Amino acid sequence: MRAGRTAAIAHPAGEAPTRRTADGVRPAARAALAADRSSRVAGRGRTGAGPRPSGLGTGRIESLDLGPFALDSGQQLPSLAVAFRHDGPGPDTAPQVLVVHALTGSADAAGSWWEPVVGPGRALDTTRVGVLCANLLGGCYGTTGPTSVDAATGLPYGDAFPLVTPRDQARAQWALLDALGFERLALVTGGSLGGMVALEVVAERPRATSVAVPIAAPLAVSGLALAWNEIQLELVERYGEEGLDLARRLAMTTYRSEADFDGRFGRARETDGQFSVASYLAHQGRKLVDRFDSTTYCTLVRAMDHHDLGAGRGSVAAALAPLADAGVRLTAVGIEGDILYGPRQVRALVAACQRAGVSARYREITTSKGHDAFLVEWDQLGRILGEALGEALAVR
């Protein structure tokens, strides 16, 4: 459906129909989102183009303006700025690794959310390889997204920011790689949404990547995950910041596991009588509201909803055949107790790869932490990444 058109949504008898625009946002929610956006745009991190970087290996967050960028939807961004961090030697002297962040992450993998596995002497050893991480297209930590200023209006895009997909996000990564002079990747990896984008990075240019390590990422987002995402989108669209708080609380129940919640909280209560698990969820909701943008959250959740490796490529087999022809090796990582994109879905990815002739294997993180184990279980994650990087360097 083209932008600007609307479609009626099924509704119970006796209720007025709800309508969404083609980007999925209910018109009645726009006022709440606009009010939320106007109070949060200032200071939301760098957007737009920054100075061209003088070199790589700086460990700083830098920005490149990559010019116009066409999207799967047929729309075009007049300018795409991408924020990134690169650690270690540049592509002229060493192999390169691309790390892709998850839903609310940033380009600062080496200094923040993946610091235990990126750096000198660590699994992704920056004395041997360069490591690049970029804020995803549609993000709010320096890459063009809803908080960026639309040159046509002089105002932030907000909920007018176009739909983006993991395939768009992967092509934005390649646009940055091209601009930086990266002709080939030894390894691409990421977890959750980052794993989905990592799969698309390889599918876009299979002959330019040796090894892929998608973590907790399926071939396509399942119906149950779509259902959880729909509830989160509804909350944010109706209630703005308050909805983002509630959406995060809901999401946290899918990021962890029954064993983790029982072990950490059980039926314990705080001094005010509140269940400890409720206090934890409230804390997580407030934390995200303090550091993230609600419209960006909806943009990235919708991007995740569109993950389907076989879509537009004829079939899953057709999508994977070029990886087999190029000799790409894939290590897909499942997580014990993950109820979001669990071992069954990851094993299905491996099986599909093997049927298509791709050299693929399955690894599993043993944990009580659930989906978020790729941000917690550093020893296991380090061993898996180290093994994959060793393989990538051997076949380079």
Delimit the domains of the chain by residue range: 61-221+310-395
Cα separation of 261 and 278, whole Å? 11
Closest CA to 331 of 303, 359, 306: 359
pLDDT at 392 (0 to 100): 96
Are 201 and 173 spatial neighbours (Cβ–Cβ below 8 Å)? yes
- Side chain identity, residue 166: P
Cα dist. 279→31, 272, 284, 347, 369 in Å?
A: 30, 10, 9, 35, 18
In this model, does residue 23 exceed pLDDT 60?
no
Cα separation of 387 and 336, whole Å? 20
pLDDT at 29 (0 to 100): 45
Residue showing tokens 């969820």: 281
DSSP class of residue 213 equals: E
Q: What would the mean pLDDT of 69-91 be, rounded to a whole number?
A: 96
pLDDT at 55 (0 to 100): 57
DSSP class of residue 377 equals: -
Are 251 and 226 spatial neighbours (Cβ–Cβ below 8 Å)? no
Quick one: residue 382, left, alpha or beta (phi over 0 = left, psi -120 to 50 = alpha)? alpha
Beta bridge partners of 191: 215
Q: What would the mean pLDDT of 25-39 be, rounded to a whole number?
A: 44
Q: Which residues contact 26 (CB under 8 A, 6 or more apart)?
A: 18, 19, 20, 237, 238
pLDDT band at 396; cut points 50, 70, 90: low
User: Between 10 and 179, where is the model more confident?
Assistant: 179
- Kindly report the number of other CB atoms within 10 A of residue 212's CB atom: 29
* Phi (first) and psi of residue 305, to 5 degrees: -55, -30
Cα dist. 71→76, 154, 168, 185, 229 in Å?
A: 6, 21, 6, 23, 22
pLDDT at 56 (0 to 100): 72
In this model, does residue 99 exceed pLDDT 80?
yes
Q: What would the mean pLDDT of 80-89 be, rounded to a whole number?
A: 97
Q: Which residues contact 271 (CB under 8 A, 6 or more apart)?
A: none
Active site residues: 192, 338, 371
**Exposure on the CB side of residue 249, measured as CA atoms within 13 A:** 17
| Model pLDDT for residues 146-184, shown as the tens digit of each residue | 999 999 999 999 999 999 999 999 999 999 999 999 999
pLDDT at 59 (0 to 100): 84
Query: Mean pLDDT over all residues of the chain?
Result: 88
> For a pLDDT cut of 90, what percent of the chain falls above it?
84
In this model, does residue 33 exceed pLDDT 50?
no
| Model pLDDT for residues 204-250, shown as the tens digit of each residue | 999 999 999 999 999 999 999 999 999 999 999 999 999 999 999 99
Cα separation of 334 and 342, whole Å? 6
The enclosing H or E element of 355 equals: helix 343-355
pTM, rounded to two decimals: 0.87
pLDDT band at 257; cut points 50, 70, 90: very high
Cα separation of 374 and 311, whole Å? 27
Number of H helices, E strands in the chain: 10, 14
Q: What would the mean pLDDT of 290-312 be, rounded to a whole number?
A: 98
The enclosing H or E element of 198 equals: helix 193-204
User: Between 79 and 16, where is the model more confident?
Assistant: 79
> For a pLDDT cut of 70, what percent of the chain falls above it?
86
Point out the least confidently predicted range of 24-33, 67-76, 136-145, 357-366: 24-33
CATH 2.40.160.20 fits 61-221+310-395, yes or no: no
- Provide the pairing of β-strand 329-335 with 359-365: parallel
pLDDT at 6 (0 to 100): 27
pLDDT at 58 (0 to 100): 77
